[in-house]
Structures are given as structure tokens and as C-alpha cells.
């Protein structure tokens, strides 16, 4: 198993307790502490992250502005914070 740093830059992988606790809540009453918080900046990095999670057999939850008031943006897996660097991207029909 390759380390996550083979897929994403180390400066955008946060495994320290403080960072993980900061992302353990959304606007809901739920609290799950993510294993890691990552901040992908490009489509290629998201693809790499998904490949890593597939290889590891774990899940990834994406979080951005407006993603949840009911617990959908909390996870005990890998949390991908995509609140920045995605202003000019959109999801197409394909």
C-alpha cells in the first residue's frame, strides 16, 4: 500500500488531532472524527484521492460550502475539503 503522500502533496494532508477535530462537526448534531482531512486542488488530485481510497478500501466524504445541515459532511474516513480552488469547476451531464 502506497502512502497518501504518493497521491497528494503532504502540505494538504492533515492527520493531526486538532485538524481532525476541527472537521468533526458540521451544522448538525453529529460528530465523527475523520481519519484524515485532505484539501485537493485539482481534478487530477481528486482522481488520485479516489484511487487511494479504492486501493485502501475506505470511503471519502466531500465537504464544501452548503453541503450539510444534517450530518452528510461528517465522516470517520477521509474528509476532502473542497471549499477553495473549485470556483471555476462544474459537474457536467457526463
- 2 pLDDT higher than 90: no
Strand ranges for 29-83 from DSSP E:
36-38, 60-63, 78-81
User: How do residues 3-21 score in pLDDT, each as one tens digit?
Assistant: 999 889 999 999 999 999 9
**For residue 25, what pLDDT band results from cuts at 50, 70 and 90?**
confident
pLDDT at residue number 93: 86
Going by their DSSP bridges, the two strands 13-14 and 60-63 should be labelled as: unpaired
Check: CB of residue 93 under 8 Å from CB of residue 80.
Answer: no
pTM of model > 0.75: yes
Residue 22 grid cell: 476541527
> Residues 62-75: what's their mean pLDDT?
76
Tell me whether residue 57 is exposed, middle or buried, using C-beta atoms within 10 angstroms of its C-beta: 0 to 12, 13 to 18, 19 or more. exposed
Candidates 87, 84, 77; CA nearest to 37 is 77
Amino acid at each position: 500500500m502506497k502512502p497518501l503522500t504518493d497521491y497528494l502533496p503532504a502540505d494538504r494532508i492533515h492527520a493531526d488531532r486538532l485538524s481532525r477535530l476541527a472537521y468533526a462537526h458540521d451544522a448538525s448534531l453529529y460528530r465523527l472524527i475523520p481519519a484524515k482531512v485532505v484539501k485537493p486542488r485539482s481534478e487530477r488530485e481528486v482522481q488520485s484521492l479516489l484511487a487511494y481510497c479504492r486501493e485502501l478500501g475506505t470511503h471519502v466524504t466531500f465537504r464544501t460550502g452548503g453541503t450539510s445541515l444534517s450530518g452528510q459532511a461528517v465522516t470517520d474516513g477521509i474528509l476532502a475539503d473542497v471549499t477553495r480552488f473549485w470556483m471555476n469547476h462544474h459537474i457536467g451531464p457526463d
